[in-house]
Structure 1
């Protein structure tokens, strides 16, 4: 029989048990570390299996579904890595690699979302049941309390008391926040009941002994768990032992505190080991989180707009791959951020490779367009390379070469070939031109010597020769002059002036029509140009020269006319200067008229 004075000690024991229990439930929630055997199913078979499981009870399949999910993404990762390896073997580079879309993943995500909703509903239902259980247990405690308060009829209530105990134990799940308070009150009322219960000593001692044996067994189990290296498993088992301890009735008063202290000591060892384990795990997770955030930020900081070449993209790709390898070597972050970090990392990497693929495609498209443009220029150069219209073709070739320089690069495998083709056509033309030009220059030098010889003959003409004979010789020399071809361009005007000066001297002396003879001489020259190669080009060039001469003479005449206003014609010297200027002005007018006639003559032959 337990006396009422024992109640304070029992309260102390219950309070101590409450403390250790409160310590247990305040620890961080343990991570599920189920060591599941690797599933050998394919991704399609995994999806099919998940589809079968989602309709089954959540509690019975949740571990298998988690395992299947992990195996699915492990398989997917391995497939992508294998595809990347093959791509690299085939191309020698992974820069353009893009994984094939995963058609099964959306189906899997849909199934997992369905299961997630079922799981949430189950938890909601369980919480509702726990609240209902809490109300039932509180109601039972009130009944037990009433029994303990009826001390006069305590023996009569023994059977009722046992039934209430059984009913209390059969109700299991309640909200975690209420567990300690429930068991504290239960133990208090039970101990109070036994203290008040006036039953025979043998029955009480029998219950105490039975409870002692059970609690000693629990103590031994707890002490064995304290030596277990698997602190997570030990902690889980300890919770079960505490549940069993609570369900066992009291022991003899003199043994209660020592027995409880023994169990409490073993529990404390396990709890501390468990706490240390998760503190270390948390520190590692925080370190891993910081390392993963740093990698994400490093990739996000890449200015992809500054990557303007294949080599720049390739160098940055090496950095990304190195960061991916570093990521693989980092352990898990905390569960609440680990998935989000991985999604951030994957999204950032995907965006980089997407931008790279777009850049490569854009540049390759530009190179293809550049290749077509350069091929077109090759065709133009090849069409012109055999032309003998040296002036126009040279201008066209130079224009083509300038246009070539404005076109961007082409792919390496075409670059040398298209350049060789283009430069071959250009070189061929200019080599032919140089050969022709060298030949023409030699002929022009010979013509220059011949024309100088004609001028020397004109200058050496004997003034004592009979006029008729002299006129005939001058005309012969003029015909000889007209038969001689072109001279070097830079010598043309100089030699022509010397020739005209020699002719003018004889025209004046022999009373020959200077203008008519000069025009006749030019007519022969025009006819010679009109019948030569590149006639149009030569005539146009001569016309341009005459137009320049016309403008030059016109400007000189304008100068004389302007200077006329400054002369003092009243003086003797002024009158002489006026006559000289009028003579020069008339000569310039005659020269302009002759040039105009020459231009008309060229126009008739164009």
Structure 2
């Protein structure tokens, strides 16, 4: 009900003028005034060319709304609607900015609560006052229209009573002129009655003038003045053709039509001519007005094409895969740019304007809903990751005071490895947690390094001592003497008595030491074996001279020794098959066992040579 009242209040006068124009008859049998095809649109666009102030804050809009609500003038609907539109545009933009800041800060979009806005509440209250004032004004205007209608009906009845005869017309001329002036002073009447009242009034006025014969001079004078007035109106309409603002020209034309109708008739022989001139000039304005709306409709169709392309663009962006926050922010920026472009495009055709906007908004809302869901899930993942990292921080802090250097080092390194497997958290919180975790680890390792500083110095000294022993062993290999074996044993004892070396150098010095020993043993074993075999051969000659089966006894002893060594070698080789050489410690053990096996094989070969020597002696 309120909407219809506001519309009627705003459009009352315009509607009455348009209806009168569309149906009024100037003289009898005269052509009708052309009503432009865009007349209905013209009404809806009333005030469209009014330049409105630009508002950049809700406070400024609220101040203007208060001024209107508490002023004396009737609130103008166009301005009220404009203020309402701009206020809520700023209000929604402000609310969306707060929501975006909340989400960007890690907030949950579903848990976000819209806080009451004091400006909005004040705005609604003032708009309520404006609606009440407009409702009162509408009611008063309707009452005034009904009163005006009755006044015009009374005037028509009075004129009607004057056109019964020429005598009555002549007697009532002055009264008739007074009634005409009164008619001009009466403003709006109900739009539905306007055409009927105007035709009735025009009919009896013309009849009065046709009966007015006795006072021909007065009648001719009236005809002359009316012709001058209508000629001026024709010139005014013809000049309107030069007006660049066709909307303004059209509305001025309505006023000129009203003046033309309220101007009395001209001489009967000139009525068609002056009316034809006025109508022709009006047709030019109406055609310009119609062309304007045809161009406007063409522009709206062009806008529809542009907006459809933007809808497709947003839909394509929304359909793209987002692999991470970078993609979401990139696509958000692209959609915001499209939204900014959308705002630069005017209206689409009325039947499609809402539909195309709904399509665009749906695509945008779909994207931002998915984005909110992504950040909600990411927030949950951040929380889980943060909880895991906090747990590691607590464990690291507990271990930071430990003095179990080896075991605690292993535990902390395991925690560091686990830390790297946990996903990301918000940067600020992540930096804070890493600082706490790293500080706890550094506290332990700094304490351990301080305690082990002296030990490392001793290990480096031990490394130098072992290198000196290795150099002496290398010298023995290069310059063998009679006491080689004794010297080698002394150096081995010296090497074994030296303590630990740095961990990183342990394997390298071990390999270097055993490499030179292997070379010494190889040379030493060959020489010793040769001497021992030569001594054995001399010994069995003496045993053979003694007789009594001594050689057979020695041969049986050597055979038992051979079998024992063979079995022992077999055991070592079987054990080697079960050892794992993946660790450095396992590899060292294998090397040591291989040396023992090789030594046993060398000893077994010597026993074989001794057995062969006995067999040769028995021959």
Q: What TM-score do you get using the length of structure 2 for normalisation?
A: 0.55
Is 1:137 matched with 2:152? Answer: yes
Deviation at 1:218, TM superposition (A): 0.8
Unpaired segments of 5 or more residues in structure 2? 1-23, 106-113, 450-500, 519-550, 573-584, 598-619
Select the residue among 319, 324, 330 that pairs with 2:345.
330
**Aligned equivalent of 1:218:** 233
Select the residue among 197, 211, 223 that pairs with 1:182.
197
Select the residue among 130, 149, 153 that pairs with 1:115.
130
Alpha-carbon distance between aligned partners in 2 of 1:487 and 1:387, rounded to the nearest angstrom: 26
Q: SS where residue 307 of structure 1 aligns?
A: coil
**Aligned equivalent of 1:259:** 274
Kindly provide the CA deviation profile for residues 58-92 of structure 1, in whole angstroms up to 9, marking residues without a partner as x: 536656656766776798899999x99xx9xxx9x
Contact 2:75 2:134 in 1 (8 A): no
- Tell me how many residue pairs correspond in the alignment: 457
Alpha-carbon distance between aligned partners in 1 of 2:427 and 2:79, rounded to the nearest angstrom: 54
Contact 2:166 2:211 in 1 (8 A): yes
**Aligned equivalent of 2:263:** 248
Measured on the aligned residues, the alpha-carbon RMSD in Å equals: 6.1
In structure 2, relative to structure 1, the CA distance for the partners of 1:289 and 1:59 (3 Å cut) is: farther
Contact 2:240 2:249 in 1 (8 A): yes
Is 1:309 matched with 2:324? Answer: yes
Unpaired segments of 5 or more residues in structure 1? 1-9, 92-98, 449-461, 498-606
Moved more, 330-339 or 170-179: 330-339
Contact 1:320 1:349 in 2 (8 A): yes
Contact 1:134 1:175 in 2 (8 A): yes
**Aligned equivalent of 1:599:** none
Is 1:53 matched with 2:68? Answer: yes
Select the residue among 276, 285, 301 that pairs with 2:300.
285
Alpha-carbon distance between aligned partners in 2 of 1:486 and 1:44, rounded to the nearest angstrom: 82
**Aligned equivalent of 1:274:** 289
Deviation at 1:492, TM superposition (A): 11
In structure 2, relative to structure 1, the CA distance for the partners of 1:393 and 1:225 (3 Å cut) is: closer
Alpha-carbon distance between aligned partners in 1 of 2:132 and 2:313, rounded to the nearest angstrom: 37
Deviation at 1:184, TM superposition (A): 2.9
Is 1:148 matched with 2:163? Answer: yes
Q: What TM-score do you get using the length of structure 1 for normalisation?
A: 0.56
Select the residue among 207, 214, 218 that pairs with 1:199.
214
Is 1:370 matched with 2:385? Answer: yes
Deviation at 1:213, TM superposition (A): 1.1
Contact 1:25 1:176 in 2 (8 A): no
In structure 2, relative to structure 1, the CA distance for the partners of 1:332 and 1:325 (3 Å cut) is: same
Alpha-carbon distance between aligned partners in 2 of 1:61 and 1:290, rounded to the nearest angstrom: 34
Moved more, 38-47 or 267-276: 38-47
Alpha-carbon distance between aligned partners in 2 of 1:365 and 1:229, rounded to the nearest angstrom: 63
**Aligned equivalent of 1:6:** none
Alpha-carbon distance between aligned partners in 2 of 1:226 and 1:411, rounded to the nearest angstrom: 68
Alpha-carbon distance between aligned partners in 1 of 2:280 and 2:267, rounded to the nearest angstrom: 20
**Aligned equivalent of 2:242:** 227
Kindly provide the CA deviation profile for residues 342-379 of structure 1, in whole angstroms up to 9, marking residues without a partner as x: 79867975785676467457636644653563475576
Deviation at 1:145, TM superposition (A): 3.9
Contact 1:148 1:192 in 2 (8 A): yes
In structure 2, relative to structure 1, the CA distance for the partners of 1:67 and 1:317 (3 Å cut) is: closer
Contact 1:154 1:196 in 2 (8 A): yes
In structure 2, relative to structure 1, the CA distance for the partners of 1:26 and 1:350 (3 Å cut) is: closer
**Aligned equivalent of 1:238:** 253
**Aligned equivalent of 2:19:** none
In structure 2, relative to structure 1, the CA distance for the partners of 1:335 and 1:36 (3 Å cut) is: farther
